[in-house]
Structure 1
Amino acid sequence: MKEDFLHYIWQHQYFAKAGLATADDEMLQVLRVGYYNTDAGPDFREAILRVGEVEWSGSVEIHVRASEWYRHQHQQDPRYDQVVLHVVWEADKPVQRTDGTLVPVLELKERVDLQLLKTYERLQQAKNAIPCAAFWPDVPEITKTLMLERALVERLETKGEEVLKTFQRYEHDWEQTAYHTLLRGFGFKINQQAFGELANALPLSVVRRHQASLLQLEALLLGQAGFLEEAPDEYARQLQKEYLFLSHKYQLQTRKMERYQWNFLRLRPANFPTVRLAQVAAVLYQQQGFFSMLLEAKTVKAYEAFFQAQASPYWQQHYLLGKEKKALLQRMGKGSAHNLIINVTVPLLTAYAAYTDNRQHLEKAVNLLEQLKEESNKITRLYEELGWQAKSAADNQAALGLYKNYCQPVNCMRCAIGNKVMKQNSFTA
């Protein structure tokens, strides 16, 4: 048994109330269960209880065994002095606050419906990737829909929080934050980290000074990425010459990356980091204030046009310096552009919504996802096998959020679908 089961039991009060009393036989009445605490400290805050004839307001701490209070050193932590009830499965030991006073204890093991416990254990021990797969058909569609909507918003907020961390790191500069997010996006999954390192190695302040020259942008990006150590043709020599001058001017050499930091393995030539760098150069060349553009564009087509900026003629014919491709490399594919909308535009909009406390930006992010075509992947297919079907990229993101935050860690007690399964399979609930 895990504590999350007892959190669930307490939060929903799914236990027998007749003759409710503490381990010391004092009458107990729950007036308010409190609010679940996701930060450090007791599990539930602002609970209101009546113990004997006295009404108490404070926190509730939950453990499987009462003795875990001491294992977690709560008897030495002043934050736990406000605990007015210790809820446990088994009251194996009295517990004390820092001043030595005893904390009232409620033991639940004789008060919880065994069917509820069996359902919980069945979910916890399920071998399916989706723990509630056996129960899924019996869960109302509205419950699934609402939970998926919640999972989508939570996933977007998590992505937004990552952007806000970057925003803090760059001293509240939105353009620099957008630049870093843009470059990481162009790394897709395989080279995301390397592109992020490049954003740190090549400051936006330097890029801005040369946004009027596509050749200089390519030289800065490819040179700082470590791809201009050799110059196998005339165009490469031009880039190398520009980079040597600019890197000396801005003292970039100490932060220059090495070629080994980039991944080419199992990538098609059109996805090589050299090609992506040329495409980034084209995006930066066409748009001076790209954060404003990412914030203010109105349509999916406008974002597609932004991300699908045409690379220079050389990179339409090459995938590596000196390595020609027989067929011309056309603009970035629409699928890749949509990936960038999902992983660059949407997180920036979500972060900006949180920063400005303006939900319109979050609504715009969701609206963009709803307009993009769904793409089946190994995670969404798990839900498709249960009869669910994604209709847009918003659905895809919702499924990814549901799986990663709830199904994969078997966090059923925090999931509305898991809650419904528990309720439908319990006499008490």
Structure 2
Amino acid sequence: MKEDFLHYVWQHQYFEKANLCTQEGQPITVLRPGMRNPDAGPDFLGARLQLGEVEWNGAVEIHLRASDWYRHYHQQDPKYDQVVLHVVHTADQEVQRTNGSVVPALELAPRLSPALLHAYERLTTPTAAELLPCASLLSQVPSLTRTMMTGRALLERMENKAAVITGLHQQLGQDWEATAWHVVAAAFGFQKNTEPLARLAKALPLAVLRRHRHDPRQLEALLFGQAGFLGAGEDIAHDLYIRDLSQEYAFLRHKYNLAGTALAAHEWNFLRLRPANFPTVRLAQLAGLLHARPALFDALLTATDVAALLQFFAAPISAYWQTHYRPGKAGKVPALGRTSLHVLITNVVVPLRVAYYQHVGNPELVEAAVALLDQLPAEYNHVTDLYDTLGFIHRTAADSQGLLALHKGYCTPRRCLHCAIGSRLLQTKPAARCE
């Protein structure tokens, strides 16, 4: 048993209350269990309890064993002087505040129903054959509960992504256009090259790119040069186009003092990537996007539907990069695929809009931003396949993102007590008992 189970039991009052009393024999009436405290200090704040004839307002501290109070040195911490009830699984020791006064204790072990304990054990100790902690119990959970929990996990996932963008926005002097450039650039890495593309965005400020957005050749020189792909090499020695870009980059590098921030070619990942996913191809697509769509943030914010966003990202690239997937390496290069476009909408547009609408305080538009995912087809991978087999709804990208969030945020770390599905399975009324 973990302490968070006792937190759950106390918060929802899932224990037998007949003849409730402290270890010292004082009758207890719980008027308000209090609110979980996410910061340092007692576990629940603002509790209202009647102990005997006296009503108390204060904090509740929860431990598996009463002696944990001393193991955690609470007897030396004034924050715990406000504790009016010590709720424990096993009352193995009397405990005191910093002034020596005894903290009343409530022992829960004899008040927990066997059905509740059995359900908790089933959730926290799944068999090796079970795909999820609650896999064998899901038939007991209404589909509405699953859908609501998936939706909650989806919103948390988008808000977490938005929080990262908000932090970036602060770092960039609250410039939304610059923020959009950094987010778009990193997303074009499609996981394998996200990190070097994020560093490239820092090494190549949007202010510099804006000055040359009218000239695709100069944009390519800046992007490929700062990425480290215009150095000397056997493959590009006789490539006139790359030599021209290299000369243009040498001039621009000196003009903007860019040499100290440039990346090296070896920092990019090509291994196990199809040519269409090579970072050089993605750089060419970024150059085309910056040339054709100079106002990134405004366009990403105002596009009315998915069709408009698909058109936005599908900007044409220069003739050279339509026939080369690396400098000096000829080969037909396909346009940005529809699946990749859907990924960009999911990982760029939605969290960027959520971050902006939270910034301006418009919760209705936050919901509208997340609802864009309902217009995209479902994603399929080993995680979504797992939930498909268990009967979860999986029709759109909103469902896919919700399932991914559920898996990462709740199922994998076994946070069943914080999940609506796990909570539903634990909603067993304690058996009546009298003393």
Q: Deviations over 1:199-244 (max 9, x none)?
A: 1111112111111111111111111111111243111111111111
Return the letter of the residue paired with 1:122.
R
Return the letter of the residue paired with 2:342.
H
**1:267 and 2:273 aligned:** yes
Match of residue 229, structure 1, among 212, 228, 231: 231
- After TM superposition, the structure 1 = structure 2 runs for residues 12-411 of structure 1, keeping only pairs within 5 Å, are 12-126=12-126, 127=128, 128-230=130-232, 231-232=236-237, 233-325=239-331, 328-411=332-415
SS where residue 110 of structure 2 aligns? coil
The verdict on how the C-alpha distance between 1:312 and 1:41 changes in structure 2, with shifts beyond 3 A counting, is farther
The verdict on how the C-alpha distance between 1:107 and 1:414 changes in structure 2, with shifts beyond 3 A counting, is same
**More displaced stretch, 205-214 vs 180-189:** 205-214
Q: Deviations over 1:341-385 (max 9, x none)?
A: 000111111111221111233122222100000011111111111
Q: Deviations over 1:170-195 (max 9, x none)?
A: 22221121111111110111111111
Distance (whole Å) between structure 2 residues aligned to residue 376 and residue 427 of structure 1: 44
Return the letter of the residue paired with 2:71.
R
Distance (whole Å) between structure 1 residues aligned to residue 76 and residue 225 of structure 2: 56
The verdict on how the C-alpha distance between 1:143 and 1:262 changes in structure 2, with shifts beyond 3 A counting, is same
Match in the other structure for 1:421: 425
**More displaced stretch, 277-286 vs 223-232:** 223-232
Q: Is the 8 A contact 2:203 2:258 kept in 1?
A: yes
Q: Is the 8 A contact 1:166 1:177 kept in 2?
A: yes
SS where residue 110 of structure 1 aligns? helix
Return the letter of the residue paired with 1:132.
C
Return the letter of the residue paired with 1:152.
L
The verdict on how the C-alpha distance between 1:41 and 1:238 changes in structure 2, with shifts beyond 3 A counting, is farther
SS where residue 427 of structure 2 aligns? helix
Distance (whole Å) between structure 2 residues aligned to residue 95 and residue 227 of structure 1: 67
SS where residue 423 of structure 1 aligns? coil
The verdict on how the C-alpha distance between 1:24 and 1:260 changes in structure 2, with shifts beyond 3 A counting, is farther
Structure 1 residues without counterparts, runs of 5 or longer: none
Distance (whole Å) between structure 1 residues aligned to residue 406 and residue 242 of structure 2: 47
Distance (whole Å) between structure 1 residues aligned to residue 311 and residue 78 of structure 2: 57
Structure 2 residues without counterparts, runs of 5 or longer: none
SS where residue 62 of structure 2 aligns? strand
SS where residue 376 of structure 1 aligns? coil
Q: Is the 8 A contact 1:137 1:386 kept in 2?
A: no
**More displaced stretch, 227-236 vs 94-103:** 94-103
SS where residue 176 of structure 1 aligns? helix
Return the letter of the residue paired with 1:88.
V
User: How far 1:78 moved relative to its partner?
Assistant: 3.4
SS where residue 111 of structure 2 aligns? coil
Q: Is the 8 A contact 1:86 1:104 kept in 2?
A: yes
Q: Is the 8 A contact 2:147 2:393 kept in 1?
A: no
Distance (whole Å) between structure 1 residues aligned to residue 73 and residue 178 of structure 2: 44
Q: Deviations over 1:17-64 (max 9, x none)?
A: 111112222221110111223333322222111122221212222221
Q: Deviations over 1:245-293 (max 9, x none)?
A: 1111111111111122211111000000000011011111112221111
The verdict on how the C-alpha distance between 1:217 and 1:95 changes in structure 2, with shifts beyond 3 A counting, is farther
Return the letter of the residue paired with 2:280.
T
Return the letter of the residue paired with 1:312.
S
**More displaced stretch, 90-99 vs 119-128:** 90-99
TM-score, length basis structure 2: 0.94
TM-score, length basis structure 1: 0.95
Q: Is the 8 A contact 2:65 2:89 kept in 1?
A: yes
User: How far 1:386 moved relative to its partner?
Assistant: 0.9
**1:5 and 2:5 aligned:** yes
SS where residue 30 of structure 1 aligns? strand
Distance (whole Å) between structure 1 residues aligned to residue 364 and residue 292 of structure 2: 27
User: How far 1:426 moved relative to its partner?
Assistant: 6.3
Q: Is the 8 A contact 1:309 1:331 kept in 2?
A: no
The verdict on how the C-alpha distance between 1:237 and 1:409 changes in structure 2, with shifts beyond 3 A counting, is same
How many residues matched? 426
The verdict on how the C-alpha distance between 1:239 and 1:100 changes in structure 2, with shifts beyond 3 A counting, is farther
Return the letter of the residue paired with 1:370.
D
Q: Is the 8 A contact 1:119 1:425 kept in 2?
A: no
User: How far 1:313 moved relative to its partner?
Assistant: 0.8
SS where residue 295 of structure 1 aligns? helix
Distance (whole Å) between structure 2 residues aligned to residue 78 and residue 53 of structure 1: 26
User: How far 1:295 moved relative to its partner?
Assistant: 1.0
Distance (whole Å) between structure 2 residues aligned to residue 79 and residue 236 of structure 1: 67
Distance (whole Å) between structure 2 residues aligned to residue 390 and residue 219 of structure 1: 44
User: How far 1:74 moved relative to its partner?
Assistant: 2.8
Distance (whole Å) between structure 2 residues aligned to residue 86 and residue 277 of structure 1: 60
Distance (whole Å) between structure 2 residues aligned to residue 425 and residue 323 of structure 1: 69
SS where residue 45 of structure 1 aligns? strand
User: How far 1:425 moved relative to its partner?
Assistant: 8.6
The verdict on how the C-alpha distance between 1:41 and 1:292 changes in structure 2, with shifts beyond 3 A counting, is farther
Distance (whole Å) between structure 1 residues aligned to residue 210 and residue 96 of structure 2: 62
